[in-house]
Amino acid sequence: MAAMVTESPDVRVVRAACPHDCPDTCALQVTVQQGRAVRIQGDPDHPTTHGALCTKVSRYAERSYHPERVLTPLKRSGPKGGGRFEPVGWDEALDAIAARLRAIAARGPDAAQAILPYSYAGTMGLVQGDGMAARFFHKLGASLLDRTICSSAGGEALAATYGGKVGMHLEFFAESRLVLIWGSNPITSSVHFWTFAQQAKRAGARLICIDPRRTDTADKCHQHIALLPGTDGALALGVMHELIEHDWLDHDYIERHVDGWPALRERALQWPPERAAVVCGITAEEVRGLARDYGNTGPAAIRLNYGMQRVHGGGNAVRLVAMLPCLVGAWRHRAGGLLLSSSGWFRGARRDAWLQRPDLLAGRTPRTINMVTIGDDLNRESSPVFGPRIEAVVVYNSNPVAVAPESAKVARGFAREDLFTVVLEHFLTDTADHADYVLPATTQLEHWDAHTAYGHTYALLNQPAIPPLGQARSNAAIFRALAARLGFTEECFADSDEAMARGAFEADRVDPAALREQGWAKLKVADAPFAGGGFPTASGKAVADAPGLGVPDHVPNHESVLSAPELAARFPLAMISPPARHFLNSSFVNVASLRAAEREPLLEIHPLDAAARGIANGAVVRVFNDRGDYLCKAELSERARPGVVNGLGVWWRKFGLAGTNVNQLTHQRLTDMGRAPTFYDCLVEVEPGGVPA
Ligand SMILES: Nc1nc2c(c(=O)[nH]1)N[C@H]1C(S)=C(S)[C@@H](COP(=O)(O)OP(=O)(O)OC[C@H]3O[C@@H](n4cnc5c(=O)[nH]c(N)nc54)[C@H](O)[C@@H]3O)O[C@H]1N2
Ligand SMILES: Nc1nc2c(c(=O)[nH]1)N[C@H]1C(S)=C(S)[C@@H](COP(=O)(O)OP(=O)(O)OC[C@H]3O[C@@H](n4cnc5c(=O)[nH]c(N)nc54)[C@H](O)[C@@H]3O)O[C@H]1N2
Ligand SMILES: [Mo]
């Protein structure tokens, strides 16, 4: 077995993979001394990890050995939502959970739909994510979950344009001459991309950041275009207008490899820079300058990220930006093109049907619940349209009470006395506080897994470094035990975690020997995958005018000064809530060293907006709209542009000054494509004061 890099009687190094929801998916080396994981490092040989880790994951041991880890099954001992529990044995907990699920499912042919699994990307592992869990819920006939909370607007837009979530190789950004960092803050949220961008910069490339917030990344680029949230589609159209006017187009590439350009060209001609500038809240010269740079500097690469698609028009905006590299022929070069996600390259390499076994539905078609609207859906009664009221929720790899929009409704739903809630967790999160049973889950140091990535093209294997702490069990082990109690006899319910991890990939696409020996294996993807077209669409061309969708356009926010003037009269500030550097969504908020680095929940507000409201730096402010209020500290800062406030990070509600976080203010309306959330499409007002509860 090649699990170890080096071995001595009491020190060994185990090859692992970072489980977190991040484009970088790092290859890890875990040093274990006398049975304890003492150091987590990046694999120096892995081409994109290159031996470096982010601050958060270099503290992964601190998180795993955290004194507040849940290490035994817990049963609720106080009022619902109160977070009071008593330890119980595994058998007692599993018997009670199985009995409750069985009773619901036994009521009739489709009755199991009243059970909802709720999960996202606490781990991105194929085994501890939707592996054994998916098999279990498919067999049970539970409601299906539309897993939309992050990337589905952009994902569907890429699929409509390129035929899948495919793009440039991360490594080749180092050779680009112009890098647009668009809706992305890589110094915070994908630091390994930033390494390649810096290499390009040192070699003379120009870096332009397109982001409403002046992020730490924006500070280090040559130019920052601080557009209003949700206006990227207008900016892309303005740029296209200039590419056409000045004939900075690659006609040959367009002719051969783009479908529907004439119709998009007509649309773009309606967007002179002056029009785009008004919508974007920037100058026409900024639009012209961006087009001039993009039309005349090659190879040009766009690092698009999901930050720009969390608004009503997110899908259309991604379709528009994704057309840009086709118009200038940037795809001809390996250092040109665009990267939003690389996960589509793994299509066919991952053995999804074997891992998840959708065939266990056996012809049943349970309803699908959108995870974004969990706030409304938990509070719905049975109806012919909705189906049965949700009676049981099993949460794993997610913290919906903190991360889902409009959290007052989410918390109210989870506080329902008649709802049966099971949460598989490492910690007593805001969601776990609402459970009837909390089941202790293992961390990545304690279980097997297999990983794909969405920011590079390497598959990874995670080997356990230490045995499970306390009584923790892996998600897969927990669902295996529940399956046994429910009498599920299919052989797949006996597969071990290790067997699932080792069997996760097609051997002809992901080299099993490389996975075994070095912990990772590269997919075969051409260096310049679309140099000669060959997009994975039906026509093999990039699609500008898609059947059923038409030509993309700028779609205004649900909530903005231009699109909702009456609402804006009461709530004139646009709020975005991008990631905090030392947290990962709501993970790591309880790691003392990382929380200390983020200090406290805060709102960045431009000094002019603060002065107009009598708000002093460091003052407690009330941020509010019709959905609720959020108390935090004001930080007067030019990181916020006038008219836009930045409420960073996803804090746990219980660490908030008044028991809420930014999602108290966000709403459940969806994007134009992909049924996704619109976290950054949100109007608020801010006032001084508000006494912390
Ligand atoms: N440290 C840290 N790293 C993370 C995460 C985290 O929470 N913390 N989250 C992880 C997850 S889940 C994901 S999905 C990935 C990527 O997650 P993303 O949310 O794409 O993260 P960022 O790269 O920070 O990009 C968001 C940037 O978009 C900007 N933005 C907001 N609205 C708009 C807009 O309308 N237009 C434009 N152009 N920009 C806008 C924000 O100000 C922010 O700087 O990162 C992952 N990495
Ligand atoms: N306002 C606002 N809200 C947002 C965002 C934003 O930018 N602004 N970002 C959104 C985005 S991009 C995303 S992806 C979502 C993320 O939402 P989630 O996927 O819910 O992410 P986390 O908040 O990190 O919660 C993951 C939980 O899984 C647990 N976990 C980790 N590993 C395991 C395991 O192996 N087993 C079990 N049982 N549990 C495990 C962790 O302890 C953690 O509590 O949040 C979204 N919410
Ligand atoms: Mo995400």
Ligand 3 center to 425 CA (angstroms): 19
Q: Which residue has the tokens 């746990």?
A: 652
What confidence tier does 10 reach under pLDDT thresholds 50, 70, 90? confident
Contact 80, 431 (CB under 8 A): no
- Pair type for strands 420-425 and 392-396: parallel
Q: Return d(Cα 129, Cα 334) in angstroms, integer.
A: 33
| Model pLDDT for residues 232-257, shown as the tens digit of each residue | 999 999 999 999 999 999 999 999 99
Ligand 1 center to 182 CA (angstroms): 10
> How much is the pLDDT for 224?
98
Q: Which ligand is nearest to the CA of 22?
A: 1
Ligand 2 site, residue 319, Cβ cutoff 6 A:
no
> How much is the pLDDT for 3?
47
Q: Return d(Cα 646, Cα 390) in angstroms, integer.
A: 34
Contact 645, 607 (CB under 8 A): no
Q: Which atom of ligand 2 is nearest to the CA of 403?
A: 47
Q: Return d(Cα 282, Cα 273) in angstroms, integer.
A: 10
Q: Which ligand is nearest to the CA of 371?
A: 2
Q: Whose CA is nearest to atom 15 of ligand 1?
A: 22
Q: Which atom of ligand 2 is nearest to the CA of 586?
A: 23
How many Cβ atoms from other residues are within 10 Å of residue 512's Cβ? 15
- CA angle, 578 then 189 then 184, to 5°: 65
Ligand 1 center to 501 CA (angstroms): 29
> How much is the pLDDT for 693?
44
At 567, the amino acid letter reads: L
| Model pLDDT for residues 118-135, shown as the tens digit of each residue | 999 999 999 999 999 999
Q: Which ligand is nearest to the CA of 645?
A: 1
Residue 587, pLDDT > 80, answer yes
Q: What is the mean pLDDT of the chain?
A: 96
Q: Which ligand is nearest to the CA of 192?
A: 1
Give the N- to C-terminal CA distance of the chain in Å, as an integer: 56
What is the average pLDDT across 562-585?
Answer: 95
At 71, list the tokens. 């290490």
Q: Which atom of ligand 1 is nearest to the CA of 581?
A: 1
Q: Which ligand is nearest to the CA of 586?
A: 2
DSSP for 446-465, please give it: TS-EEE--SSSSEEEEE--S
> How much is the pLDDT for 2?
45
Q: Ligand 1 test: best mutation among 55, 149, 189, 320, most atoms within 8 Å of CB? A: 189
To the nearest 10°, report the CA torsion of 451, 455, 456, 458. Answer: 0
- Using alpha carbons, list the distances in angstroms from residue 181 to 72, 197, 220, 241, 305: 44, 9, 11, 21, 8
Ligand 1 center to 181 CA (angstroms): 11
Residue 183, pLDDT > 60, answer yes
> How much is the pLDDT for 689?
85
At 59, list the tokens. 């503290």
What confidence tier does 9 reach under pLDDT thresholds 50, 70, 90? low
Ligand 2 site, residue 497, Cβ cutoff 6 A:
no
38's enclosing H/E stretch is strand 36-42
Instruction: Specify the 3-state DSSP secondary structure of 146.
Output: strand
Contact 2, 517 (CB under 8 A): yes
Ligand 2 center to 356 CA (angstroms): 21
What is the average pLDDT across 466-470?
Answer: 98
194 burial (CB, 10 Å; 0-12 / 13-18 / 19+) is buried
Q: Which residue has the tokens 């109210």?
A: 412
Q: Whose CA is nearest to atom 13 of ligand 2?
A: 150
What confidence tier does 524 reach under pLDDT thresholds 50, 70, 90? very high
Closest CA to 189 of 87, 291, 305, 100: 305
Q: Whose CA is nearest to atom 44 of ligand 1?
A: 185
| Model pLDDT for residues 219-230, shown as the tens digit of each residue | 999 999 999 999
Ligand 2 center to 161 CA (angstroms): 28
Ligand 2 site, residue 145, Cβ cutoff 6 A:
no
| Model pLDDT for residues 529-538, shown as the tens digit of each residue | 999 999 999 9
What is the average pLDDT across 679-687?
Answer: 98
At 292, list the tokens. 């001039």
Ligand 3 center to 306 CA (angstroms): 7
At 366, the amino acid letter reads: P
What is the average pLDDT across 94-121?
Answer: 97
Contact 678, 314 (CB under 8 A): yes
Q: Whose CA is nearest to atom 3 of ligand 1?
A: 189
In the chain the domains, ranked by start, together with CATH numbers, are 74-150+353-456+468-506 (3.40.50.740), 153-340 (3.40.228.10), 565-688 (2.40.40.20)
Beta bridge partners of 11: 33
Q: Which residues line ligand 1 (CB under 6 A)?
A: 21-22, 150, 182-185, 188-190, 210-213, 215, 229-230, 232, 305-308, 311, 576, 578-579, 581, 583-585, 680
Q: Where are the alpha helices (DSSP H) in 69-131?
A: 90-105
Beta bridge partners of 620: 633
Ligand 3 center to 20 CA (angstroms): 10
Ligand 2 site, residue 121, Cβ cutoff 6 A:
yes
For 132, residues 6+ apart whose C-beta sits below 8 A from its C-beta are 475, 476, 479, 480, 483, 493, 495, 500
Closest CA to 500 of 196, 157, 40, 135: 135
Ligand 2 center to 226 CA (angstroms): 28
> How much is the pLDDT for 215?
98
- CA angle, 340 then 344 then 350, to 5°: 140
Q: SS3 breakdown of the chain: % helix, strand, coil, rounded to 5?
A: 35, 20, 45
Ligand 3 center to 398 CA (angstroms): 11
Ligand 2 center to 119 CA (angstroms): 9
Count the alpha carbons within 13 Å of 493 in the hemisphere toward its beta carbon.
20
Contact 88, 97 (CB under 8 A): no
Q: Ligand 1 test: best mutation among 58, 211, 648, most atoms within 8 Å of CB? A: 211
Q: Which atom of ligand 1 is nearest to the CA of 580?
A: 8
- Using alpha carbons, list the distances in angstroms from residue 458 to 423, 498, 524: 31, 19, 9
Ligand 2 center to 400 CA (angstroms): 8
Ligand 1 center to 284 CA (angstroms): 26
Q: Whose CA is nearest to atom 18 of ligand 2?
A: 398
What confidence tier does 5 reach under pLDDT thresholds 50, 70, 90? low
Q: Which ligand is nearest to the CA of 124?
A: 2
Q: Whose CA is nearest to atom 6 of ligand 1?
A: 584
| Model pLDDT for residues 126-165, shown as the tens digit of each residue | 999 999 999 999 999 999 999 999 999 999 999 999 999 9
Report pTM: 0.97
Q: Whose CA is nearest to atom 20 of ligand 2?
A: 398
Count the alpha carbons within 13 Å of 425 in the hemisphere toward its beta carbon.
27
Q: Which atom of ligand 2 is nearest to the CA of 125?
A: 35
The dihedrals phi and psi of 466, each to the nearest 5 degrees, come to -135, 160
Contact 399, 424 (CB under 8 A): no
Q: Which atom of ligand 1 is nearest to the CA of 190?
A: 47
What is the length of the chain?
693
> How much is the pLDDT for 649?
84
| Model pLDDT for residues 29-53, shown as the tens digit of each residue | 999 999 999 999 999 999 999 999 9
Percent of the chain's residues with pLDDT above 90: 96
| Least confident span in 58-72, 265-279, 443-457, 679-693 | 679-693
Ligand 2 site, residue 423, Cβ cutoff 6 A:
no
- Using alpha carbons, list the distances in angstroms from residue 267 to 286, 445, 550, 564: 20, 52, 11, 24
- Using alpha carbons, list the distances in angstroms from residue 645 to 247, 282, 317: 38, 17, 22
Ligand 2 site, residue 676, Cβ cutoff 6 A:
no
Ligand 2 site, residue 149, Cβ cutoff 6 A:
yes
- Sheet-wide strand order for 392-396: 85-87, 74-76, 437-440, 420-425, 392-396, 115-119
